[in-house]
Structure 1
Amino acid sequence: MGSSEESIDRSPQPEPGLKPEGHIEALTSDLPPLTTTTERRLMAKIDWHIVPCLCVLYLLAFLDRVNISNAAVLGLETDLNIATGTKYNTALTIFFVPYVIFEIPSNILLKKLKPHVWLSFCMFGFGLVMICQGLVSNWGGLMTTRWFLGMKAIHIHRHKTDRDAGMFETGMFPGCFYLLGMWYKRSEAQKRFSFFFSSTTLAGAFGGLLASGLGKMAGLRGYGGWRWVFIIEGVITCVVAIVWFFIIPGFPEDVKWLNEEERTYIRAKLARDAGKAGHDARMGWRDVLAVFKDYKIFLGGFMYFGQVVTAYGYAFFAPTIIKTYGYGTIQTQLYSIPPWAAAFAFSMVIATFSDLTRHRLAFTLIPTAIAMAGFGILLNVHGEAHRHVQYGALFMVTCGCYSAMPVIVCWFAMNLGGHRRRSVGTAWQVGFGNTGGIISTYAFLAKDAPEYRNGYIISLSFICFSAACCIGYFVALWAENKRRDRVMANGAPAELREDEEEVQGDLAVTYRYGY
């Protein structure tokens, strides 16, 4: 290291949970020389190319997925004769069937497509189906469009034609998390992950605001306000998909907006943090199945699954719940905005402190406890006379749940080493987790209004389950790190070849998990 204060310390600096002994230290004994100022500029450059692009994509995807909740308040249920029974709930459920079933198979079959091609194609498909959803005239038509929304949510990218295993699973979500994970160190990731994930809260806020305006178009050309919600938002999605075809980013190994020095530095820095990624590795079904031999993979899915039940329950039914407090249709749409906005701000606070302390467990449990308290209030306070208290409890639920989820996904994804384990693991976590969305669609039934006691109990139970799984995951990581410490104390293992290292990923004895 040079004497200048601006130079980077190139000696291995382990992140919490990472031991650079042995072959990992040998990987990156020398990082290319960049000044601190230059590195900051490089990271800002990466942030501007990666984060906003993915945030807009997922904001629109999530908005197209859940805007049916705004449409329901604007008359969808009445116009399609599904206001009674469980037809509306079934229409919500049908989305998740293809969304979950075809996740990993689609990643294998569509392996030759590049991210900008496949992601923009799927987003354009989202928009077209959304426009069609605004034109349906019965429950069957609604079911059909919701099914195709689930189908269009399935996408993956296989980078560099046949050579790289990269997963962009159902609904863009884990694929974007996977891509983010390939650009940032573990200590840098949480703020970016949370900002990306918080596009869902922005989608909720923006959806409520947009619906309040589009609802006033009721009667224009003979269409109800709810139809315009679908049509206009579908058109916006199609336009963005066309533009984004030209700007969706790839991986550090080949993007054109990095020069060779910057590319070398980023690859070396990431290798020092978590070992080499194996960018050119092939992956088949045997590699996919091998990932599931690690029981920690299942814990990752379970702790996300519990939060998803609550998150989708709120996303799908918040306007319906708020309307029971005695507000009019447009007021309901407007009152749905502040909880989402608060959740965005709170999630960024949680992410900042999580990165500063380089700790994850506490920042999953604290928000979850806040959400639990919110459900406690909702279960015990009823009636329009107490609507302000109930409305305040919705803030607690939203802030808690939507702050814990990005920490959980980041924590799990960044503990997976190498392209193979990270791509399969993130796809599994979010794919399995989204089966919780099926449960959430039947949690809040019309017959339970206005107290929705069963829905609140179900949601509370599952976030408690999530908290228990987070604790279990922490214990598993702590125990495994201790075991590896004992192995290393008995003598360093033989140095692994690069291909062996990539296959093992975080299973290598020199790797240390963060928690």
Structure 2
Amino acid sequence: MIALGLVTLTSPRVNISNALTMSMPEDLNLYGDRTNVALLVFYIPYILFEVPSNIVMKKLKPHVWLSGCIVAFGVAMLGQAFVKNYGGLIATRFVLGLAECGIFPGSFYLISFWYRRAEAQKRFTMYWSAVIFAGAFGGLIASGIAKMDGMRGLENWRWIFLLEGVASIVVGIIAFFLCADFPQQASWLNEDEKKAVIAKTHNYEGDDVSITRADLWESFKDAKIWLASFMYFCIVVPIYAFSYFAPTIIKALGYNTIQTQLHSVPPFAAALGLCAVVAYLSDRWRIRLPFILFSDLLIIIGLAIMLTMHGASHFSAEYLGICFITMGAFTGGAVIICWTMMNMQGHKERSIGSGLVIGIGNAGGIVAVFCFTKDDAPLYKRGYWILMGVTLAGTVLTVVYALIVERERRHQLRVEGSTDKEKILSL
């Protein structure tokens, strides 16, 4: 249910990239860097309110808070369908960020209480794949909506936000009745079943635990959380850069609007397939680090292709580069989120930690929206070099994080005198 909700959310959020290849820039007078600023505004409330949102979700229960956020997002999306100028777009983008800030970290926070480490990656990836699904099929949907220009007196790009805004509201209402709460709160489990879930996941902390300012301060002092945050930041930059600008980059290769939307599908579809394979292998082999490093390598290879091959004779190579970058970014992001979340314990760490990691990490979206500007078209070399730099930095941070986690796990084993491999399921 949560994954379905995320499809309805991320599809319209990311589909502004499709709208920008239509008449939206001309209709709203989006000259210069106005497009980039409009994308940027979304991230201000999205970053600032993620930790408070998790705390509120715990008090109100997930099914209430998550469904409410989805409905609010849908209403804001409807408003975006009818904006008349640049100011209206800025206002609706801000509200969209405020409404969505509770969904992503809150959902991962909730999922982490239902599964143990050895089975978590598949579940996290299933949820994460909703984002990729939206990116992949958003292009197909947009290619159909592109033909609706003028229907009922509305431009085609307005229909993107109108239809998906309505879909978000409907899913939000359904989510209120179907979304699960934390295991201790789940009305559909009996007491024995609740105890079995808690024992399986080792989440013995009760739902009545309160989160204080001291807990916030302890999280801010945790070097591991900061490493995780910047590690996620480094993967978010290419994720959002290509979520927003893949259609623009593809269009620069000489395609019309509908061809552009259709050619934006395969990179995301390939990412979806790789994510599924990595999720299965990661849980089966009980290891995360190599898959993140492999994802970084894919991004680096893709960027190298984009930086060195241009022109009509190299279209296939450039398109392969786009596929590699998209596959590596989305696959790496899924593993990083699961790895860092499952290295946190209890409500205090996970509510604050997930908000900080995803909130700080999503500041990468601010960098991403300025990676590909109109002044750099059609080669966008500055953007590719920025992505290369943050990917290399992310690789270094990943190795450092792994060393810290390994040291903590081995210390824990020595203290407990345990040989339980489950407890060192981190690398």
TM (normalized to structure 2)?
Answer: 0.95
In 1, the alpha carbon distance for the partners of 2:101 and 2:360 equals 14
Deviation at 1:474, TM superposition (A): 0.6
SS at match of 1:253: helix
**Which aligned pairs between 1:111-126 and structure 2 lie closer than 5 A?**
112-126=59-73
Letter in 2 for 1:264: K
Structure-2 residue corresponding to 1:219: 150
Structure-2 residue corresponding to 1:456: 384
Does 2:260 match 1:332? yes
* 1:257-287, Cα deviation, whole Å (9 max, x unpaired): 223332222122222xxx5233321112211
Letter in 2 for 1:455: G
Find the partner of 1:403 among 316, 319, 331: 331
Structure-2 residue corresponding to 1:65: 13
Letter in 1 for 2:394: S
* 1:64-108, Cα deviation, whole Å (9 max, x unpaired): 2211100000111111121x3100000000000111112223444
Deviation at 1:256, TM superposition (A): 2.4
Letter in 2 for 1:514: S
Structure-1 residue corresponding to 2:40: 93
In 1, the alpha carbon distance for the partners of 2:135 and 2:106 equals 21
SS at match of 2:180: coil
Maintained 8 Å contact 1:93/1:441: yes
Relative to structure 2, which stretch is displaced further, 306-315 or 71-80?
71-80
Maintained 8 Å contact 2:54/2:106: no
**Which aligned pairs between 1:433-472 and structure 2 lie closer than 5 A?**
433-472=361-400
In 1, the alpha carbon distance for the partners of 2:178 and 2:346 equals 25
Maintained 8 Å contact 2:112/2:120: yes
Letter in 2 for 1:136: V
Maintained 8 Å contact 2:128/2:334: yes
Structure-1 residue corresponding to 2:28: 80
Deviation at 1:513, TM superposition (A): 6.1
In 1, the alpha carbon distance for the partners of 2:65 and 2:381 equals 42
Deviation at 1:467, TM superposition (A): 1.1
Find the partner of 1:367 among 269, 275, 295: 295
Q: Label 1:206 to 1:293 Cα distance change in 2 as closer, same or farther (>3 A).
A: same
Does 2:35 match 1:104? no
Structure-1 residue corresponding to 2:344: 416
Structure-2 residue corresponding to 1:129: 76
* 1:8-56, Cα deviation, whole Å (9 max, x unpaired): xxxxxxxxxxxxxxxxxxxxxxxxxxxxxxxxxxxxxxxxxxxxx1111
In 2, the alpha carbon distance for the partners of 1:134 and 1:487 equals 58
* 1:163-197, Cα deviation, whole Å (9 max, x unpaired): xxxxxxxxx11211111110001001001111111
SS at match of 2:207: coil
Find the partner of 2:173 among 239, 242, 256: 242
Structure-2 residue corresponding to 1:228: 159
Letter in 2 for 1:54: I
* 1:336-364, Cα deviation, whole Å (9 max, x unpaired): 11111110110110111111110110010
Does 2:203 match 1:279? no
Unaligned runs of 5+ residues in structure 2 are none
Structure-2 residue corresponding to 1:349: 277
Structure-2 residue corresponding to 1:34: none
Maintained 8 Å contact 2:117/2:425: no
Structure-2 residue corresponding to 1:140: 87
Structure-2 residue corresponding to 1:190: 121
CA RMSD in angstroms, aligned pairs only: 1.7
* 1:214-262, Cα deviation, whole Å (9 max, x unpaired): 1100011221111111111111111111122111111111312223332
In 1, the alpha carbon distance for the partners of 2:378 and 2:17 equals 16
Maintained 8 Å contact 2:25/2:35: yes
Structure-1 residue corresponding to 2:401: 473
In 1, the alpha carbon distance for the partners of 2:44 and 2:88 equals 17
* Number of residue-to-residue matches in the alignment: 424
* 1:261-319, Cα deviation, whole Å (9 max, x unpaired): 32222122222xxx523332111221122122221111110110100011000001011
Deviation at 1:512, TM superposition (A): 4.9
In 1, the alpha carbon distance for the partners of 2:359 and 2:332 equals 18
Deviation at 1:384, TM superposition (A): 2.5
Structure-2 residue corresponding to 1:262: 193
Letter in 1 for 2:96: L
Choose between structure 1 and 2: higher helix proportion: 2
Structure-2 residue corresponding to 1:38: none
Does 2:304 match 1:376? yes
Structure-2 residue corresponding to 1:204: 135
In 1, the alpha carbon distance for the partners of 2:179 and 2:409 equals 37
Relative to structure 2, which stretch is displaced further, 399-408 or 95-104?
95-104
Maintained 8 Å contact 1:304/1:405: yes
Letter in 1 for 2:68: F
Maintained 8 Å contact 2:7/2:131: yes
Deviation at 1:488, TM superposition (A): 5.3
In 2, the alpha carbon distance for the partners of 1:177 and 1:69 equals 25
Unaligned runs of 5+ residues in structure 1 are 1-52, 156-171, 493-509
Deviation at 1:111, TM superposition (A): 5.3
Maintained 8 Å contact 1:130/1:233: yes
Q: Label 1:316 to 1:419 Cα distance change in 2 as closer, same or farther (>3 A).
A: same
Q: Which structure's CA Rg is the greater one? A: 1
SS at match of 1:450: coil
Structure-2 residue corresponding to 1:181: 112
Structure-1 residue corresponding to 2:224: 296
Maintained 8 Å contact 2:297/2:328: yes
Deviation at 1:484, TM superposition (A): 4.0
Letter in 1 for 2:40: T
Letter in 1 for 2:80: Q
In 2, the alpha carbon distance for the partners of 1:138 and 1:465 equals 39
Maintained 8 Å contact 1:477/1:513: no
* 1:362-403, Cα deviation, whole Å (9 max, x unpaired): 010011101110010001011123212111111111111101
Maintained 8 Å contact 1:382/1:451: yes
Q: Label 1:358 to 1:106 Cα distance change in 2 as closer, same or farther (>3 A).
A: closer
